[in-house]
Amino acid sequence: MTESPRNESYLTEPVPGTGGRLRTEDDDFRVEEIPLKPPEGLGDHLYLRLEKRGLPTLEAVRAIARLAGVDEKDIGYAGLKDARAVTLQWISALAPGSGAERKLASARLPEGLRITEVKRGRAKLRRGDLLGNRFDIRVRGVSPGAADRARETLAALTERGVLNAYGEQRFGVRGNSAEVGRALVLGDWAGALAHLFGSSPVEAEKNSRSAEAARRFGAGDLAGALRLYPEGWKAERRVLTALMAEVAPEKALKAIPRRERVLFASALQSAIFNACLARRLDGGACDRLLSGDALFSHKSGKIRRIGDPGKEAAALARFDVSPAGPLVGEKVLEARGEPGEMEADALRVLGLDRGALNKGLARMGVRGGRRPYRARLRVEGVSAEGGDLRLRFELPPGAYATEVLREVMKVESPGGARYYLREVNLQEAPSREILCQETLCRESPRTIDVGGA
């Protein structure tokens, strides 16, 4: 059993943690998407309910596109689901007629992917088209009395809300998405290559395929690096293929599918949001309103700025509204006063300029917005099963179960305290000198040279 550290600040700090271990098996973490509405049963869009085990959503989407003979851009999904789990979610594919359905019926699906239901619908499934997610999670090896402590923690979170931080899965399997996004947004092509093909300390310790690919990239063996990346790693494979064709770095990075480039940019937005949430958590204001706050309405989804927090106290207590943090970009309603100063300071600490960010994000088609600092929790059940703890609850779209578990278990630091931009990379990335030679930054597509790091 993992012991609980006591030197961190949690929303439920007075309640001891349960300790325990997560994800010993895929079945320990189950997620079911709650659709906004069921498919109508008629239409040109083929709706597939997928069960995934150990498989990222985008890999499942690519597999379905390939096997059904449809264009990947014509496939829609409401949300990305964690790869390290058993997940149930709907996707849609523009597929008039019965051809795609017949192909899928006889296709051999990848390991870990199963189609549990097939229907027809009139429109493409869009991001956010869901009511929420239902979680069924087993925490193994908890301490005695864990169920009672979990109930107490969850009752407090039901009243106050869950920290709406972005969880680690938002930042990619290798945890590098925000750093790649930062470099792409700021036009740092050498830095983007360094982070895309760099190896994290965890990967190096595990001697993973991606760590070996990073070593080969740094040694100039682009073909060797390419061979090590699985087919599903489209970004890395496409960029390496372009570099081998002596394409300039900027153009090579544009070979990344647009959907993934936007995800990298969004990961940067998420890291900045977490940094702003960390400031609110430090000041005990993640569930309090301050003068100048941007206010999120949980009923309408609309954002407005407030002057007198007292006028919103009743709505805040009812969970009708919450303070909202920035998803940086041109379209963000600016906070003022103390909240605005907190957000500006978070950017300063991260070494980021708001103007440069807005310009780069707009170039990538990412406009910005606001996200509430807290999310509403609905608990369905808590039970002790042998030496394990079983938790069943629902969260709204975009909220992370890992932030609930962090409060219940108290074996990791609170969500808002984690930026997901590694400190070593907040300024100019040192790995550029190791993994991305000076000649990679030249404009001429004929002078690529990645030899001898």
Catalytic annotation, residues = 82
From residue 100, how far is each of 66, 67, 93, 243 by CA, in Å?
Answer: 10, 8, 9, 35
- Report residue 155 as tokens: 């009752």
- Report residue 190 as tokens: 């050498």
Let me know if 78 is exposed, middle or buried by CB neighbors in 10 A (0-12, 13-18, 19+). Answer: buried
From residue 402, how far is each of 14, 77, 252, 421 by CA, in Å?
Answer: 20, 22, 35, 18
- Report residue 404 as tokens: 């609930």
Q: How far, in Å, CA of 93 to CA of 72, rounded?
A: 8
Pair 369, 331: CB distance under 8 Å: yes
Which helix or strand (DSSP H or E) is residue 348 part of?
A: helix 337-349
Pair 358, 102: CB distance under 8 Å: no
Q: What is the DSSP letter of 21?
A: B
Q: How far, in Å, CA of 125 to CA of 406, rounded?
A: 31
Q: How far, in Å, CA of 156 to CA of 16, rounded?
A: 13
| SS3 assignment, position 419 | coil
